Structure 1
Amino acid sequence: MACHACRNGAAFEVPITMAFQPIVDVATRTVFAQEALVRGADGAGAEAVLAQVSDTNRYGFDQLCRTTAIEQAAALDLTADGASLSINFLPNAVYEPRACIRLTLDAAMRTGLPTRSIIFEFTESEAIDTDHLLNILRSYRAMGFRTAIDDFGAGYAGLGLLTRFQPDIVKLDMNLVRGIDTDPVRRIIVRNTLATLTELGIQPVCEGIETPGEYVALRDLGVTLMQGYLFARPTVGRLAEVVWPEEAAIQVDGMRAAG
């Protein structure tokens, strides 16, 4: 049975849909995962939707995002080529992990989406109780789900969390990536962060990549999982076609030499 807080939370009444943005593996030129990003059904962006979230409807919003992401991913046959579905969740909307996961499991079973393909991604931008978060992450791992930290390096959890739990994936914040090809300080920070994650057995993802120069710099640092407008923008109602920089006739090696 669901916990008292889950049963008595208000529903989220704003109609939503999902945009999907790929996380690509540049080494194999495949899509590693598709991240589901909330959008208003009327075309409103994520910020406008999130502005409607309150303490009373937070649980309802989180659950609606999960089920909508799963239903639309299944309709698009998102996992057909081996890609996973990355779902953002709000730790403060999860009261008891095994109770709050039921609608997610029901949606996956109803649509035929394999639960082993689901990655639960949370952002560091929200202040959270670390013990509560660890309970969620450990519970999800025990249930066979993968977990990811989003916006790593820009929020509350950071390296302190990694001393107590090592998620499957860490996504480096775009502010660490932006302009890395011309900023030696960013390269040093990212290089050492990547080394730490690799030693801990965590897969790094660099997000927010917008320029060929950023791509080249990260590729040269050994990054293989990337996400950003350079490859594909979030799309609603379909899966975006990935643009591979070399195939787009971007002279990345020439740019590196010129830089």
Structure 2
Amino acid sequence: MRIILSGYTGHMGREVRASAERAGYPIVAGVDAMAKEPDDICVLSFDDCTAEADVIIDYSHHSMTGKLLDFAEKRNLPVVLATTGQTEEENARILEAAKKIPIFRAANYSLGIATLADLVKRALALYPDAEIEIVEKHHDRKLDAPSGTALSLFNAVKEVRPNAVANLGRSGMGKRTEDEVGIHAVRMGNIVGIHEVMIGTQNEMITLKHEAFSRGVFADGSVKAAAFLAGKPAGLYDMKDLLREGD
């Protein structure tokens, strides 16, 4: 499996390069507008990318979504989207592209986070009246808040409770509403990623927590997702599909 890596020189780009090497998959090209010294492997834009490949892994910036998908459609290449923070217009573009090419999209490529989301849904089925809070913690350089992973966990809640309403960073006066789910973001230091889902009643509380110790876990997951896409028809895939295939 030959990989084009978008976001080649970034923190996650370096992790994906190491993960792909461990798995025996060559990075045949890198695309990175922020590259200080483009070379035979890394170019500044998709317009300059001529390498033959089997898949694209994207860890760049959501503003690159349109150009990335234009290139992927032209070359008929599957895409692993690991960038978050897309606008409504960019999300619509992703859905449009998924009609033509296979796209794997996840806010978090850790298998542990996928397991956490599954546990949350199981717990809520047992505690239909419990209150829910989501807390995410990341390093002080992370740009988007709340994290895409926190929002994906909220979406897992909504699968069980369709009427759930997100309250981002609760503030001001007023009682908690029945359908409210608080989502809180912490930014400090060098935290790789911590996500907690608290499920509580008046008498007890369950806290489900996932902590990533290194970015390598996300890189490994995205490389597995790239391998998963091999031979898949056009469509939108996520971690549930990857876990299901492993059952």
Normalized against structure 2, the TM-score is what?
0.29
Query: Greater share of strand residues, 1 or 2?
Result: 2
Normalized against structure 1, the TM-score is what?
0.28
Larger relative contact order (Cα-Cα within 8 Å, sequence gap ≥ 6): 2
